[in-house]
Structures are given as C-alpha cells and as structure tokens.
C-alpha cells in the first residue's frame, strides 16, 4: 500500500485516510487499489467493528484525477474497461463490507468522491462540505456511481443532480437524504468518532453483519418478496449466539459486552 492511503486502527475502529491533499484526494489507479486493499483488510479483521473514511487536507475527495483520466483516454477500450472495473470492484467491496462504514466529509466530495461517500452506510458532513456529480460538465458520464445515488436519494433527486451536474451544500444534501448528519467544522471529528464508537460498543457484530446482508439481498425485491425472504433471517437470528447473549443481558438488566 502506498502513502496515498493511510490506514490506522483505534481500538475497534479502522480509520482510512485519503492522503493526496495536493490533488484534493483525487482518485487514480493506485488510490483505488489501496482503498480496495484497506477494505479487504477490514473485512478479514474480526477486531475491526467500524470503518471511518476521511480525506486529508481541504477536501474529502474531488473525484477522479482528471490528468489520469486524460492519460488513459488514449488507451484501448479494453484497457479502459479493465480500469473501470477496478473502480467498480472497490466501490462494490466498500458497499458490501459486512461492517458499518462512515464517511466523514469536509470540503468537496465531488463526482467519484461523492460516490465514494455514498458507498458508505452513513455520511457525516460538516456544514462547509459540498456535494455533486459534475461529470456531465466535462463531457463524462457518472456511470458507476449512478446506482448508488439512485438508491440513496431516489430517482427524481438523482436525475437532477446527475443531469445538471450542479454542486449542493451539506444542508441540501441532508434534505434529500444524501447526508445523514451535518455538524459544524469544529464538531466533525468528535461527531464521527462518537458515532463509530457507539456502533462498535452497542451493537452485535453478528447482527450487524446479517442486517447488512439482508439489506443487500432484498434491495431489488418487492415488499412481499422481501418480507418473505427476511423471515429466514429472523429465524436465523433467533438461534445465534449473539442473540442469546444480548437477550440474557437485557433480561438481567445488564449491558452486553460485544
């Protein structure tokens, strides 16, 4: 892993930091590869309960490195397809990570950078943050991130953001469901840390893993089909060790130690 992505563990929290501040943490091939490696490491490490993603410097992530895109635009269609699949694989792995993920956003989160944020389960932003999918303004298509945005904010809001290519502030992003929490810049670190440790300390790792899998499995189903499918998870959870531990602690008026 290069020094463009820094990984540090604080107790049960993995902190992944994009570290290209001079490029506003723009995504290139090495950053995408490092992010994917960090996500895979988080998935394999049972000691990690929550992943927090952040950016160094003045931006969360300004999207793809445009100089890199210009360079590879001369490559063959097959080479560009392979490069595109690496970005898809990283975002897919982040979204499917069986542990809660938090995007801690300050400054611009644009294009692929905004996609990176919404691939996380929860987005916490300071009120100076900016969000947008500006690809159409430079003749590009926000292809891979589009399904993530539609899932997050609905088709109507997604259409406007994608087709206008405009940039919105954190309050507007929260109103349409793109952001979960907006805080002052001086509160961002504490807010994200508090949320991460709350999840790590107060939730069952097994229950969280199954819940994330349930959400993924039922995403494209109709309501009745999804409820029928979810009944299997309900039965499975009833027989789990974590449920017995949590239920016993609750009945004894104790707090379970996860």
Closest C-alpha to 26, from 63, 1, 53, 54: 63
- Give yes or no for a contact between 112 and 91, defined as CB atoms under 8 angstroms apart: no
Tell me the three state secondary structure of residue 126.
Answer: strand
- In degrees rounded to 5, what are phi and psi of residue 184? -70, 155
Catalytic entry in 4, 71, 79, 135: 135
CB-based contact 83:103 (threshold 8 Å): no
Nearest by Cα to 110 from 193, 27, 209, 224: 27
- Per the listing, tokens 């269609």 go with 77
* Cβ atoms of residues 25 and 54 within 8 Å: no
CB 74 within 8 A of CB 40: no
Please state, in angstroms and rounded to a whole number, the distance separating the CA atoms of residues 206 and 212: 10
Active site residue 79: no
Q: Which residues are tagged catalytic?
A: 135
């Amino acid at each position: 892993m290069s020094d463009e992505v820094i990984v540090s563990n604080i107790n049960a929290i993995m902190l992944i930091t994009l570290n290209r501040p001079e490029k506003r943490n723009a995504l290139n091939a090495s950053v995408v590869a490092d992010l994917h490696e960090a996500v895979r490491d988080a998935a394999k490490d049972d000691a990690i309960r929550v992943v927090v993603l952040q950016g160094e410097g003045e931006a969360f992530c300004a999207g793809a490195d445009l100089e890199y895109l210009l360079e590879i635009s001369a490559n063959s269609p097959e080479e560009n397809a392979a490069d595109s699949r690496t970005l898809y694989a990283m975002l897919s792995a982040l979204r499917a990570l069986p542990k809660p993920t938090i995007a801690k956003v300050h400054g611009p989160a644009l294009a692929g950078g905004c996609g990176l944020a919404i691939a996380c389960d929860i987005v916490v932003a300071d009120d100076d943050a900016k969000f947008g999918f500006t690809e159409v303004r430079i003749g590009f298509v926000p292809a891979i991130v589009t399904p993530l945005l539609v899932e997050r904010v609905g088709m109507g809001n997604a259409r406007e953001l994608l087709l206008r290519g405009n940039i919105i502030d954190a309050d507007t992003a929260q109103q349409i469901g793109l952001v979960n929490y907006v805080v002052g810049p001086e509160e961002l670190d504490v807010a994200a840390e508090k949320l991460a440790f709350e999840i790590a300390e107060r939730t069952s790792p097994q229950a969280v893993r199954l819940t994330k899998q349930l959400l993924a499995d039922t995403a494209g189903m109709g309501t009745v089909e999804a409820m029928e499918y979810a009944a299997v998870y309900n039965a499975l959870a009833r027989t789990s060790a974590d449920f017995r531990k949590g239920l016993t602690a609750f009945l004894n008026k104790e707090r379970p130690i996860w």
